[in-house]
């Protein structure tokens, strides 16, 4: 068994965010993204490799030189979460053999996501979505793969571009793919 973990902090300057007070314009802010990833990888038997992974991300505004309330300012304030980014754990479970694999993934948005970095009037609720994939290697050239996304057909709001342009997540989706390697 091999266990790996990483803790990270990414500080970004000059990150453009949509200015909610001036449609079509951006405000340059500073942001900080903190998180960690961990993975356990090893063999259950001689033929089956198993992988279990988890990741967590949190993104916040650290500075906005134009922060304030009034003409010429922006009310995108330090401490606010970056829009559309929630604390996002992702869990992956994978079973692999020489010829086939089964992969399961849970995408989680556990907290409310605010559409704007100010206001906090329009919120998208948290959700958990489960995906899976199965593939089979036919020979050295061909592989077939079946992906099932949103297995339980859970309704959720995936993204937004402003308060009035909110996009629903995809319903249950099946994808069958044949892949050739030359």
pLDDT tens readout for residues 71-93: 666 767 788 777 766 666 666 77
Question: How many CB atoms within 10 Å of residue 109?
Answer: 22
Q: Which residues lie closer than 8 Å to 102 by C-beta, 6 or more apart?
A: 94, 95, 132, 133, 134
- Contact at 8 Å (CB) between 136 and 100? yes
Mean pLDDT (whole number) for 135-142: 91
pTM greater than the 0.75 cutoff: no
pLDDT in tens, 18-43: 776 666 777 888 999 999 989 888 88
């Amino acid at each position: 068994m091999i266990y790996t973990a990483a803790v990270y902090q990414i500080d970004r300057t000059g990150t453009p965010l949509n200015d909610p007070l001036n449609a079509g314009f951006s405000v340059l802010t500073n942001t900080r993204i903190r998180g960690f990833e961990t993975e356990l990888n090893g063999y259950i038997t001689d033929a089956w490799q198993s992988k279990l992974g988890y990741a967590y991300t949190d993104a916040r505004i650290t500075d906005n030189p134009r922060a304030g309330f009034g003409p010429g300012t922006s009310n995108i304030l330090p401490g606010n979460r970056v829009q559309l980014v929630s604390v996002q754990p992702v869990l992956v479970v994978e079973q692999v053999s020489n010829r086939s694999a089964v992969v399961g993934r849970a995408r989680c948005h556990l907290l409310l996501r605010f559409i704007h970095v100010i206001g906090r009037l329009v919120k998208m609720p948290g959700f958990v979505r489960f995906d899976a994939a199965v593939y089979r290697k036919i020979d050295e050239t061909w592989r077939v793969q079946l992906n099932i996304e949103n297995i339980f057909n859970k309704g959720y709001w995936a993204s937004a571009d402003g308060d009035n342009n909110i996009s629903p997540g995809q319903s249950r989706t099946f994808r069958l793919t044949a892949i050739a390697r030359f």
